[in-house]
Chain A
Amino acid sequence: MSMRTGPRDRAWLASLGKVAAFVALGVLLSVYVVEYPQDGLVARLVTTHKILSLAGQHLGIVVVSCALAILTAIPAGVLLTRPALKQWAPRVVSLVNIGQTVPSLAVIALSVGLLGIGARTAIIAMWIYSLLPILNNTLVGLDEVDPAITEAAHGMGMTLGHVFLKVELPLALPMILAGIRTAVTINIGSAILAAFVGGGGLGNLIIAGNNISRSQVLVLGAALPVLMALSADAFFEMLEHRTRV
């Protein structure tokens, strides 16, 4: 028994360690720039408050867009694996796929044309962008549940709802989480682009650093989203360890 649980517990802790390490690195980098600015211009531009508010905006855009994607793609995936709607799955996937194949900057640029500038535009563009990995993984995860297991569940007298909630969904969960993981990490990177449409976020630091030709600011603006993406990735890795059957 301990042979099975031991390594699994350790793998989970290792992922937790990664999350802590990446977050700590981001904090250290920010503190360094605030405490030892390149010059007065950087000192005035980059304050703790500024970094926190930009990181907050960045995270906000990611969380809201991914939440929207989860709330739409998972139910869609569930519906498209039910017998009555199954035939529509390939068509819906290829439609959603269009959102994914267009470059993210183009999606955002096109959205500006329709919705104007601001965080809302960025959120909607990124919502479209993150639909595919979640939808696809929901479909695959539910499809891969062994039919013998669902048949056993039906055969024993479980109601349709219970078969779904107690059997299908828990078994598909690791796959669905993997889709969310992909969507979140991609979106943390893409959210940099929100700065170009006035949506805020850490992209602002990159633009500012570029404008005033201060590499310290530029590097900070690029490094923080990278560390954020890495820690999010490690966080989902941890969740996957916990949910794997």
Chain B
Amino acid sequence: MIRFDGVSKRYPNEAATAVDDLTLHIRPGEICMLVGPSGCGKTTTMKMVNKLITPSSGTIHVEGRDIEAVDTIELRLNIGYIIQDIGLFPHMTVAENIATVPMELGWKAQRTAARVDELLDLVDLDPAIYRKKKPRELSGGQKQRVGVARALAADPRIMLMDEPFGALDPITRAKLQDEFLKIQEKIRKTIVFVTHDIEEALKMGDRIAVLKAGRVVQFGTPMDILAAPADPFVSELIGGRQALKMMNLIFCGQIMREVPVIDRGQTLAAALRLAAEPGAGRLLLSSNGLRERFYVDAQSLALAAGDLAAAARPITRALRPRASAQDALSEMFRTGDRFLFVEDDDHQVQGVIELDDLFRQVSRYEHAHRA
């Protein structure tokens, strides 16, 4: 989708090379994070994609075409562009800002207006309230939402984002990151995302290119980078506690195991037999085919007398599949249990995570990379 081949950028009055022989291939539909300290060449790299900066050597292909041969305006109109802070035109209303690219493309007023409302809905701003507002009337988070809407206006396949959430407070930033990831699940754009914040890169990126002094020192998935930092610079950038950070990237839904279900009407003996099967351990109770929020395990079965209901224990706390392994670990430490149930949005128990599963998952990545 976007392909850098041996791209360098040197500025006449600077000794250091801003971007040094960079080769990078960004796949369709992925968020590629460019991360590194200031002056590492990440913004320069990004701005070469829409020809705001011309490379000194090397070639860049966007959607298979050498951008040198593509008309600059045409190229830019097909690439969404979001920059840090303002970037919004202060003298225009929210609607006029979002309509910038459609206006350049000569869309009819009606089509543009409909698109503006659609986009405001997408970024969770009520069109009736926000359409006519000026940027100065918006909070930082709202400005950024409008920025996202503006970049998406003509439905480009590619987006360039330069520290879009950099100037926001941590809470708003986390919220907008989550919202943006949710939007991206729907729109599947190819995104080049510049940040100096490794946490943001790990959270948002499908793949991360770590840059240092104009060179890519590592390019890989967040998991690759956490599990096997290429050099001390990357390790330092990650800043320790890799295993815990990896647990942020593993979701409960991925690692939970099926929990066997047993009907309330069954005998204790049948339950004991089922619980003794390898990998089972805990059983979920059901009645009339409906899953209950009660479980039994080997211990409760051994202590119970009479029927199965006597061994039942209530499930008081469960996490959603989108929760991270780190959330699961934290919850286990809080409750003192070495297991945790996972439920769907309707509070139906879907599976269970054992503490050992967490150990196994994280160390598996470590081992895979060491091998």
Contacts and interface: CB of A to CB of B under 8 A. Distances in A.
Partners in one complex: yes
B76 interface: yes
Given A1-B137, A149-B86, A167-B89, A155 B76 contact: yes
Interface string B63-103: 00000000001111111010111111111000000001100
B203 interface: no
A153 B89 contact: yes
Contacts of B91: 170-171, 245
Given A1-B137, A157-B73, A159-B73, A152 B90 contact: no
Contact of B90 (A149, A158, A159, A166): A149
Interface in B260-318: none
Contacts of B47: 155
Given A154-B76, A245-B136, A149 B89 contact: yes
Contact of B104 (A151, A162, A170, A171): A162
B183 interface: no
B255 to A, nearest CB: 41
Nearest to B76: A157
A41 interface: no
B27 interface: no
A75 B277 CA distance: 87
A84 interface: no
Among A146, A156, A166, A245, which residue has the most Cβ atoms of chain B within 10 A? Answer: A156
B230 interface: no
A114 interface: no
A171 B101 contact: no
A159 B101 CA distance: 11
Contacts of B244: none
Interface string A1-40: 1001000000000000000000000000000000000000
A163 to B, nearest CB: 10
Contacts of A1: 133, 137
B81 to A, nearest CB: 4
Interface string B131-146: 0011011000000000
Contacts of A245: 90-91, 134, 136
Contacts, number: 65
A85 interface: no
B50 interface: yes
A173 to B, nearest CB: 8
A106 interface: no
A148 interface: yes
A151 B46 CA distance: 13
Interface residues of B, number: 30
A167 B96 CA distance: 12
A245 B137 CA distance: 11
Given A171-B91, A245-B136, A146 B86 contact: yes
A152 B83 contact: yes
A156 B100 CA distance: 8
B171 to A, nearest CB: 25
A146 B104 CA distance: 21
B187 interface: no
A148 B136 contact: no
Contact of A4 (B50, B86, B137): B137
A190 B100 CA distance: 45
Interface string B34-75: 000000000000010010100000000000000000000111
Interface string A136-170: 00000000001011011111111100100011001
B104 A157 contact: yes
A166 B96 CA distance: 11
A155 B50 contact: yes
A159 B89 CA distance: 16
A162 B90 CA distance: 16
A7 to B, nearest CB: 14
Given A156-B81, A245-B136, A148 B87 contact: yes
Interface in B116-156: 133-134, 136-137, 150-151
A156 B52 contact: no
A166 B134 CA distance: 15
A169 to B, nearest CB: 10
A153 B50 CA distance: 12
Contact of A148 (B73, B85, B101, B104): B85
Nearest to A158: B104
Contact of A152 (B73, B75, B87): B87
Contacts of A166: 89
Interface string A225-245: 000000000000000000001
Contacts of B75: 157
Residue in A1, A157, A158 whose Cβ sees the most chain B Cβ within 10 Å: A157
B326 to A, nearest CB: 36
A211 B105 CA distance: 68
Nearest to A170: B91
Contacts of A158: 100, 104
Given A153-B100, A156-B77, 12 more contacts: A148-B83, A149-B86, A149-B87, A152-B83, A152-B87, A156-B101, A156-B104, A156-B151, A157-B74, A171-B89, A171-B90, A171-B91
Interface of A: 1, 4, 146, 148-149, 151-159, 162, 166-167, 170-171, 245
15 contacts: A1-B133, A152-B81, A152-B83, A153-B100, A155-B47, A155-B50, A155-B81, A156-B104, A157-B73, A158-B100, A159-B73, A162-B104, A167-B89, A171-B89, A245-B136
Closest 7 CB pairs of A and B: A157-B76, A157-B77, A155-B81, A152-B87, A245-B91, A245-B90, A170-B91
